[in-house]
Amino acid sequence: MDLATLLADRSTRLLAYGGARGAAYVARYRTLVAAVQQAEIRVSGTHGTLSAAVATTFYRLLAIKDEYEVARLYTDGAFRESVQKQFEGEAGRDFRIKFHLAPPGLARGKNGQQPRKMTFGPWLWPALSVLARGRLLRGTWFDPFGRSAERRMERALPDDYAATLNQVLTRLNAENLTAAVELAGLHARIRGYGHVKLANLVAIKHREQVLAKQLGLDATTSGAVAAALAEAIPQGRSLKGIPVVTVR
């Protein structure tokens, strides 16, 4: 889709994601994208691949697929509607839906293995509805899920990303535009949860440092992100090449 359509779509999604705080998410999102657009127009005469990369990636960093968001997506009506279109009859009467989830504190691996998903029946629907309404707690002192290293890392990544991109914009020119586009899109590759996400992040941060060096800057890696990376690095290896920079 073109950039205007992409921005409109992601802004609508952020409004739904943030609930009462959705407008703040949208403002933060559009502020960074607008700055990138202006810089890209200055360098190339039009906004294109860099603006699109930031619009795609920054949205993904802001709209974290945490417990609240998973619950919202299951219970906002769209999921049930899609299921009804794929199967004949009604859920609960003609077929059953089971959820495969790994709730923090419940799903634990045995003998040092990674946590495994647990199976839950249709009785989970009401609990998910309650959890979805609790997204106002996200990131506050009262957030029961927000104290984990993974959640702290996820909340820090948008700040790191914006700080790094603002450095890129001050150095952006026609010669380094390609490297800037790659750096801007790196974090869109983060997938999965838990150890899978951390393994992806390690590879991304190392590549980010290579591109940052080409661009003549230090990519921002805050303490929360570095702490999460340290858990993912195999014993005997280090975070060499990933300096920790405090975001202000």
Query: Does residue 248 form part of some domain?
Result: no
β-bridge partners, 91:
95
> Would you state the pLDDT for residue 235?
42
Asked if the structure places residue 191 within a domain, the reply is yes
CA angle 143, 147, 148 (to 5 degrees): 125
84 and 61 together in one domain: no
Instruction: Encode the chain (248 residues) as per-residue pLDDT tens digits.
Output: 899 999 999 999 999 999 889 999 999 999 999 999 999 999 988 888 999 999 999 999 999 999 999 999 999 888 888 888 888 887 778 888 888 888 766 666 666 566 778 899 888 989 999 999 999 999 889 999 888 888 999 999 999 999 999 999 999 999 999 999 999 999 998 887 777 888 889 889 999 999 999 999 999 999 999 988 887 665 434 455 555 444 44
Question: Has residue 241 been placed in a domain?
Answer: no
CA atoms within 13 A of residue 65's CA, in its CB half-sphere? 11
Last residue of a domain, one of 106, 137, 168: 137
The total domain count for the chain is: 2
H/E stretch holding 66: none
Half-sphere exposure of 214 (CA within 13 A, CB side): 16
Q: What is the pLDDT of residue 111?
A: 60
User: Which two three-digit tokens encode residue 33?
Assistant: 């994208």
Residue 240 lies in a domain: no
Residue 75: give the domain boundaries. 67-137
d(CA 138, CA 146): 7
Residue 237 lies in a domain: no
Q: Could you give the CA distance from residue 165 to residue 32 in angstroms, rounded to a whole number?
A: 8
Predicted local confidence at residue 190, as pLDDT: 87
**Within a 10 A sphere around the Cβ of 124, how many other Cβ atoms?**
18
Are 37 and 103 within one domain? no
Q: How far apart are CA 54 and CA 67, in angstroms?
A: 25
Phi, psi of 123 (to 5 degrees): -60, -15
> Which residue among 77, 109, 137 closes a domain?
137
Same domain, 45 and 167: yes
Q: Which two structure tokens, joined as six digits, stand for 86?
A: 């794929």
Q: Which amino acid belongs to residue 50?
A: L
Q: Are residues 76 and 131 in the same domain?
A: yes
Phi first, then psi: give them for residue 63, nearest 5 degrees.
Answer: -90, 75
> pTM of the full predicted structure?
0.86
Task: Examine residue 110 and state whether it is found in any structural domain, yes or no.
Answer: yes
CB atoms within 10 A of CB 181: 19
Work out the burial of residue 57: count CB atoms within 10 Å of its CB; fewer than 13 is exposed, 13-18 middle, 19 or more buried: buried
Shared-domain flag, residues 44 and 94? no
Domain membership flag for residue 243: no
- Distance separating alpha carbons of residues 32 and 90, to the nearest angstrom: 45
Q: Is residue 61 located within the same domain as residue 149?
A: yes
Q: Is residue 239 part of a domain?
A: no
- The rounded distance, in Å, linking the Cα atoms of 174 and 192 is 35
**Based on the domain organization, do 72 and 186 belong to the same domain?**
no
| Displacement of CA 195 from its chain's centroid (Å) | 15
The pair of structure tokens assigned to 128 is 């998910």
